[in-house]
Structure 1
Amino acid sequence: MSAAAVRLVVLVPTVAALIGLLLARRIDPRAARFVAVGASLLAVVMALLQVIAVGGSSRVTIVHTIPALEAGELRIPLELQATVGTATIALVVAIVGWAVQAFAGWYLREDDRYGIFAATVSLFTAAMLLVVQSADLVLTLVGWEVMGWCSYLLIGHWSRNESARRAALKAFLVTRLADVGFVLGVVILAAGAGSTAYPQVLQAWAATDCPDAGACAAPNATLRTAAMVLLVIGILGKSGMVPFHDWLPDAMEGPTPASALIHAATMVAAGTFVIAQLFDVFAASEGARWLLALSTAVTMVYAAVLAFGQSDLKRLLAYSTLSQVALMLSALAVAPADEGPGAGVLHLYSHAFFKALLFLAIGWLSVTVGGTAATAMRGGLRGHLFIRPAMFVGLLSLAGVPPLVGFVSKEHVLAAAEAGAADGQARAWIVLLAGLLTVVLTAAYCMRAWLVLDDLTAADIERHDADTATFPVRALVTVLTILTLVGGLVVFTPLLDLGGHIGWLVALLSVLLIVGAGLAVRSLANGEDPAVQIVGARMPLFDNGFGVDRLYVDYVARPVVALAHLVVFLDREVVDAYVRGAAAAASLGGSGGQRAHRAERASSGLAWVVAGVVAVALAGVALW
């Protein structure tokens, strides 16, 4: 049963995407909604059956798809796998996919391109599920690239707006650039192992180095580090880590359901699971771990600072995603090799629930108040008995308040950093200090968001009826709220291999930091938006990411455009010049030959005429 469930959990949303595209423009949008939501629910069922079938077993079930491909000495088996970890994360992705589809059916009910959007979400979900269930680097790469293409379509869904087109193009170009590293890393790993199957790759590359390279089956450490560094570069781009981070906040130009999908449990978190699958190789690559640790440490603090000063609450959540994804990736950078990647995977699991809840709740609320700007949403939760507790639970979990799922996963990440520091890792100290600072900043911007949304002193504003939400929307918000409340209980089950444990001294310190930061922000608010009180006139600087977009334009976009112009010039004026020159030479040669041929025919004809005249004359004389 598990083999069939593994295949179907990927196949069902894929087929739904194809059917959805066929229905999008030819049949009533309600049919497209039925297919999208129904298929997402079926995917949840298949994922749940897979979890039940796998149970608490530690074995790996390999599932065949199509016959293996042979490319010279390289074998590409194209297999899927079922483990406790893959089954659990697949269930999480399927639940978030269902929630997004159900919410989009209501949120975009008046959108004339809803059918296309729903089909793209289905394909996006299928691609992430393929990455999770993959036991083959090629299948992982396929899912990875399809997600990148779908993110471009989802971010630019409202393509009639220039800002949406620009954001989609930026996301596509930045992630494509980083993906060059991901592809090269995959090529090196596959070439060294002679196979793209995960077991063979791990067996070949995770082996310790031998003094005699000729007698050692494992590739050398330098090449292994190069492969993992390239892979990490691709992951940093897809996850929006520094220096590839600026595309992710701009992705808020897409519809809120797209933001929830991209930010919660799919593309930006996919890199965490890829590294977790290759953790034995990654743990032996010091250079790659240092690169990931430094990038994530900078990103988690930088993004948390920016989140506090955003004038738009949806962008606040976007920057919080950068910070939280950095936190989950940092666990992989510093966790001791014997503890494994469990802390990072747990935070992926946790983040999916509370971030999907927050995005969908903020999207629901934006319909009632007419926007996501802090000024528009001020006091927006008043009277909304359904959204208010959901938002409250989501923000508490994001802040890491016990015993919610966010607290459980964040403390495991900090415990992994603490264990790495105890092992003498300098990078673990960097991550631990950055993590504690991020705890303070996260509590601060969560308190700020709550004070704005629940401001009882705000003047009454015109808003639409919040009760227009359909039953499926209420159901999905309820499910996500419950999972955020009790999801931390997963640590008492065999569903995730955590390895380490919560460090209670660090946990106590983080709780004290959360309380202190929350109280400090509340005391500084004085009945106003705390960001206005603290950041003041510098808020536009926070909105534009401290000018990073300008740096992109000046030092990335313009040089790339100049390079593109140079390439076009060389192509047209140098490379094509040889082709045009050969064509011109052939044309001239043909014209010259033609003229010569015509001239030769004329002179020959004249000679024959003269000869004929002479012959006739001679005949006449002779016959006279």
Structure 2
Amino acid sequence: MTDTATRLVVLVPAVAALLGLLLARRADVRVPRAVAITTSAAGIVVALLEVLGVHGSSGGGTLSTVPALAAGELRIPLQLQATTATATIALVVAVVGWAVQVFAGWYLRDDDRYGVFAATVSLFTAGMLLTVQSADLVLTLVGWEVMGWCSYLLIGHWSRKESAGRAALKAFLVTRLADVGFVLGVVILAAGAGSTAYRQVLQSWASTGCDDAGACAAPNGGLLNAAMVLLVIGVLGKSGMVPFHDWLPDAMEGPTPASALIHAATMVAAGTFVLAQLFDVLAAADGARWLLAVSTAVTMVYAAVLAFGQSDLKRLLAYSTLSQVALMLSALAVAPADEGPGAGVLHLYSHAFFKALLFLAIGWLSVTVGGTAAATMRGGLRGHLFIRPAMFVGLLSLAGVPPLVGFVSKEHVLAAAEAGTGDGAARAWLVLLAGLLTVVLTAAYCMRAWLVLDDLSAAEIQRHDTDSASLGVRTVVMVLAFLTVVGGLVVFTPLLDVGGRIGWLVAVLSILLIVGAGLAVRSVAQGEDAAARVVGQRMPAFDAGLGVDRLYVSLVAQPVLALARLVVFLDREVVDAYVRGAATAARLGGTGGQRVHRSEVAASGLAWVVAGVVAVALAGVALW
């Protein structure tokens, strides 16, 4: 039963995507909407069956998909796995996928391309579930690439807008550039292990042991570091970490359901789970962990600062995603080898619930007030029976207020960083200090967002019609809010191996939250946006990412464009010159022959033919 459920977890959304494409052009959107919502709900049921099937199992079971492949000495088993961790994260992805499909059915009800969007969401979900359930690097790579392609389609769904097309292209190019590293890392790991199966890769490359100082030895240390550095580069690109971060805020040009899907539990979080699966190998690659630690520490602080100064609340959530994904990845960079990746995976689980809740709630509210700009949404929560408590719970969880799920996972991440400082690891101190600073900044921008949305001094407070959204949308928001409140209880179950570390950081975290909230409140005059008070005239620079986009154009886009022009020149003027030369010679020969052989047979022409025959005969006799 477990094996069947594991296969169906990936197969159900894949079949839904195919059916959705076949039905996408129907004038009546009710059929593709029913298919999308029904299949996503079926995905939850199948994922729940998988969780129940593997519950309590001590090891990871693998199962086949299609016949294994052999490429010389390399074995490619193409297997899936069913463990408590993979089943739990698959259930989380299925829940978020269902929530997005229900919300999209209402949010895009008048969109003439809704059917294509719903099918793409299903395919995106299938790609993420394949990445989660994969026990093989090749299958992981397939799921990884499917998500990249679907993200381009979802971000650019409103392609009639120039800004949406540009954002989609930027996301595609930046992530594809980083994916080169991911592919090369996979190739090195697979070649060294002689197999693409995770189990063989871990056995071949994992450390042979650690000494008392915490230093771990591994076979082929230099090559292992190179492979994992390349793999980490791919993860940094897909997750939007510095220096690959600028595409993710621009991805807000896509519809809100697409933002919720990409930001909550799919593409940007996929790298966390991939590295968690390879944690034993990552723990032996000190260079790769340093790269991961530095990038995530810079990203979590930088993105939190930018989030506070955004004039658009949807982009505020986008920058908060950068900061929170950096936090979950940082746990993998500093967690002691014997503790494992549980803290990072827990924050992935946690972030999925409260970030999906926030994006869908802000999307619902934007329909009511007519936009996502802070000025437009000021006081917009007043009178909303469903959105107001949902947004309140989501922001509290994002800020890490106990006992919500965001607090539980953040505490475990910071505790993992604190544990890593025991042997004096500098990168653990870097992550710990950056994480504590991020806690303050996160509390500040969450408080700022709430004060804007719930502003009592707004000029006009209207009682909005809470029934404007469908029953399904209201159900989705309430389910996500409930999971955000009680989701932290997962640490008391065997579903995620996160340990039970509760230490001094709980008190420090609470104090920092109070400090951060106090800073936000003190900066606000009656009816004034905290960002306008603190950031002031620099807000457009914050909206532009402090000039990073222009930096991309100068350092990346223009050099790549110049290189592309050089390649085109070499292709046309050098490589094609041989082809054109052969064509010219053939054309000249044909023209000459045409002039010699006229359409009418002349006596001189016949004479030349006879002379040629005689010459050939004489040559044959002479050479016999």
TM class by shorter chain equals over 0.9
- Work out the CA distance in 1 between the residues paired with 2:185 and 2:311: 39
- What percentage of aligned pairs have identical amino acids? 79
Most deviating of 408-417 and 55-64: 55-64
- Work out the CA distance in 2 between the residues paired with 1:21 and 1:587: 48
Relative distance call for 1:600 and 1:381 in structure 2 (3 A) is same
Give the corresponding residue for 2:266.
266
- Work out the CA distance in 2 between the residues paired with 1:466 and 1:173: 41
CA drift at 1:505: 1.3
- Work out the CA distance in 2 between the residues paired with 1:491 and 1:218: 32
Give the corresponding residue for 2:116.
116
Relative distance call for 1:604 and 1:374 in structure 2 (3 A) is closer
Q: Tell me the SS of whatever aligns to 2:75.
A: strand
Q: Deviations over 1:187-231 (max 9, x none)?
A: 111111111111011111114399xxxxxx985111111111110
Matched-pair contact (CA < 8 Å) for 2:382–2:462: no
Match runs of 1:156-305 below 5 Å: 156-208=156-208, 219-305=219-305
Q: Deviations over 1:278-327 (max 9, x none)?
A: 00001000010000000000000000000000000000000000000000
Give the corresponding residue for 1:440.
440
Relative distance call for 1:585 and 1:337 in structure 2 (3 A) is same
- Work out the CA distance in 2 between the residues paired with 1:463 and 1:161: 32
Letter in 1 for 2:442: T
Q: Deviations over 1:115-140 (max 9, x none)?
A: 11111000000110000000010100
CA drift at 1:61: 1.4
Match runs of 1:458-607 below 5 Å: 458-460=458-460, 465-499=465-499, 501-502=501-502, 504-527=503-526, 528-595=528-595, 603=604, 605=606
Letter in 2 for 1:244: F
Relative distance call for 1:544 and 1:602 in structure 2 (3 A) is farther
Give the corresponding residue for 2:15.
15
Matched-pair contact (CA < 8 Å) for 2:385–2:466: no
- Work out the CA distance in 2 between the residues paired with 1:462 and 1:575: 68
Matched-pair contact (CA < 8 Å) for 1:313–1:374: yes
1:57 aligns with 2:57: yes
- Work out the CA distance in 2 between the residues paired with 1:422 and 1:261: 37
Letter in 1 for 2:522: S
Letter in 1 for 2:360: L
- Work out the CA distance in 2 between the residues paired with 1:467 and 1:127: 34
Consecutive unaligned residues of structure 1, counting only runs of 5 or more, are 211-216, 610-624
Q: Deviations over 1:239-295 (max 9, x none)?
A: 000000000000000000000000000000000000000000010000100000000
Q: Tell me the SS of whatever aligns to 2:579.
A: helix
Matched-pair contact (CA < 8 Å) for 1:304–1:442: yes
Number of matched pairs: 602
Q: Deviations over 1:461-507 (max 9, x none)?
A: 678633211111111111111110011111111000114613x2122
Q: Deviations over 1:317-364 (max 9, x none)?
A: 000000000000000000000000000000000000000000000011
- Work out the CA distance in 2 between the residues paired with 1:59 and 1:287: 30
Match runs of 1:317-396 below 5 Å: 317-396=317-396
Give the corresponding residue for 1:144.
144
- Work out the CA distance in 2 between the residues paired with 1:220 and 1:232: 18
- Work out the CA distance in 1 between the residues paired with 2:602 and 2:91: 85
Consecutive unaligned residues of structure 2, counting only runs of 5 or more, are 211-216, 611-624
Matched-pair contact (CA < 8 Å) for 1:209–1:220: no
Give the corresponding residue for 1:128.
128
Letter in 2 for 1:245: H
Matched-pair contact (CA < 8 Å) for 2:374–2:452: yes
Relative distance call for 1:600 and 1:541 in structure 2 (3 A) is same
Q: Tell me the SS of whatever aligns to 1:546.
A: coil
- Work out the CA distance in 1 between the residues paired with 2:100 and 2:546: 31
- Work out the CA distance in 2 between the residues paired with 1:60 and 1:473: 36
Most deviating of 463-472 and 165-174: 463-472
Match runs of 1:40-55 below 5 Å: 40-55=40-55
Letter in 1 for 2:444: A
Matched-pair contact (CA < 8 Å) for 1:192–1:219: no
- Work out the CA distance in 2 between the residues paired with 1:521 and 1:399: 13
CA drift at 1:581: 1.1
CA drift at 1:105: 0.7
- Work out the CA distance in 2 between the residues paired with 1:256 and 1:595: 70
Give the corresponding residue for 2:213.
none
Matched-pair contact (CA < 8 Å) for 2:382–2:461: no
Matched-pair contact (CA < 8 Å) for 1:340–1:499: no
Relative distance call for 1:604 and 1:49 in structure 2 (3 A) is closer
- Work out the CA distance in 1 between the residues paired with 2:582 and 2:41: 62
- Looking at CA atoms only, which structure, 1 or 2, has the larger radius of gyration? 1
Relative distance call for 1:604 and 1:561 in structure 2 (3 A) is closer
Matched-pair contact (CA < 8 Å) for 1:289–1:333: yes
Give the corresponding residue for 2:107.
107
Relative distance call for 1:607 and 1:513 in structure 2 (3 A) is closer
Q: Deviations over 1:400-448 (max 9, x none)?
A: 0111000000010000110111122110000001000100100000000
Q: Tell me the SS of whatever aligns to 1:542.
A: helix
